[in-house]
């Protein structure tokens, strides 16, 4: 009887439904886009990721860790995605992408202390500059010709370095700059940089069906105005408005 039961179970096994695949999202502390508050992970990008993953019927987790570790995890471990990630030509081939969670203009920040900022990029190249390890801002600085870049673990530490005078300039998005001003941080624009798209960067071997479902749901969220409503709820301009401002500048 036991042999018969075992044979029956094995014969039925291929007919049973496959286990749901879990997609693991990793991110960093970078308010207002992704951050932890009262024991939960929230933010503009987090709300979008959760909304589209639920709508796509994808089992998922979200975890916060230092950015360099999060980026490396998504690049090396299957079924892992990192956000909110700056998109560029090099990264396009290294990940499978779901875009855009954010469209924004990059800006170099300085302390708001009455001093003049650099009059040109050539002058800025002679100043002390900082960013975060593995961050798109660091890559943007390298592309511009900056060589000695002070790298921190997260944006909060970079801002503290800027305010203490350890660095003179800090690249970030205009939306992050606006959020820092809302928090009362004494920072101001020193110089505008190029526009930028940020999204979800997934391991290259992530099943294309999952990527397609996430992209389809993100497209729906954007088309319905849901993405803009999330930005507005956090007190920031809608994505479309930011993209237009960036193009005008």
Q: Please answer whether residues 173 and 180 qualify as being in contact, where contact means their C-beta atoms are separated by less than 8 angstroms.
A: no
Instruction: Give the C-alpha separation, 180 to 169, whole Å.
Output: 15
User: Collapsing DSSP states into helix, strand and coil, what is residue 148?
Assistant: coil
- What is residue 239's predicted lDDT score, i.e. its pLDDT? 78
Mean per-residue pLDDT, 60-78? 97
Percentage with pLDDT > 90 across the chain: 75
Helix, strand, coil percentages for the chain (3-state, nearest 5): 45, 30, 30
CA dihedral defined by 213, 214, 220, 224, rounded to 10 degrees? 150
- What is residue 15's predicted lDDT score, i.e. its pLDDT? 38
Ordered domains of the chain (ranges, CATH): 22-103+197-248 (3.40.190.10), 105-196 (3.40.190.10)
Report the mean per-residue pLDDT for the chain.
88
Give 21-43 pLDDT, tens digit per residue: 899 999 999 999 999 999 999 99
Strand partners, 109: 170, 189
Beta strands in 13-162 (DSSP E): 22-27, 35-37, 40-42, 59-64, 80-86, 96-111, 129-132, 149-152
CA angle 85, 94, 214 (to 5 degrees): 55
- What is residue 244's predicted lDDT score, i.e. its pLDDT? 41
Query: Is residue 212's pLDDT more than 90?
Result: yes
Higher pLDDT, 20 or 193: 193
Question: Residue 193's CB: how many other CB atoms inside 10 A?
Answer: 20
Mean per-residue pLDDT, 211-227? 98
Higher pLDDT, 14 or 56: 56
């Amino acid at each position: 009887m036991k042999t018969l039961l075992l044979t029956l179970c094995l014969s039925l096994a291929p007919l049973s439904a496959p286990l749901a695949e879990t997609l693991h999202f990793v991110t960093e502390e970078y308010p207002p886009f992704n951050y932890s508050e009262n024991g939960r992970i929230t933010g503009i990008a987090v709300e979008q990721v959760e909304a589209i993953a639920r709508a796509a019927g994808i089992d998922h987790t979200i975890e916060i860790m230092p950015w360099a570790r999060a980026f490396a995890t998504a690049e090396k471990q299957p079924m892992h995605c990192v956000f909110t990630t700056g998109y560029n030509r090099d990264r396009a081939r290294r990940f499978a992408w779901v875009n855009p969670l954010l469209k924004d203009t990059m800006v170099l920040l300085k302390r708001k202390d009455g001093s003049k900022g650099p009059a040109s990029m050539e002058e800025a190249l002679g100043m002390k500059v900082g960013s975060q390890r593995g961050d798109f801002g660091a890559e943007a600085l390298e592309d511009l010709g900056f060589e000695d870049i002070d790298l921190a673990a997260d944006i909060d530490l970079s801002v503290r370095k800027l305010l203490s005078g350890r660095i003179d300039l800090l690249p970030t998005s205009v939306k992050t700059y606006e959020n820092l001003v809302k928090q009362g941080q004494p920072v101001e624009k020193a110089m505008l940089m190029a526009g930028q798209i940020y999204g979800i960067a997934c391991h290259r071997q992530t099943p294309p069906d999952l990527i397609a479902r996430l992209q389809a749901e993100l497209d729906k969220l954007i088309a319905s105005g849901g993405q803009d409503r999330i930005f507005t709820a956090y007190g920031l301009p809608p994505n479309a408005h930011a993209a237009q401002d960036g193009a005008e500048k």
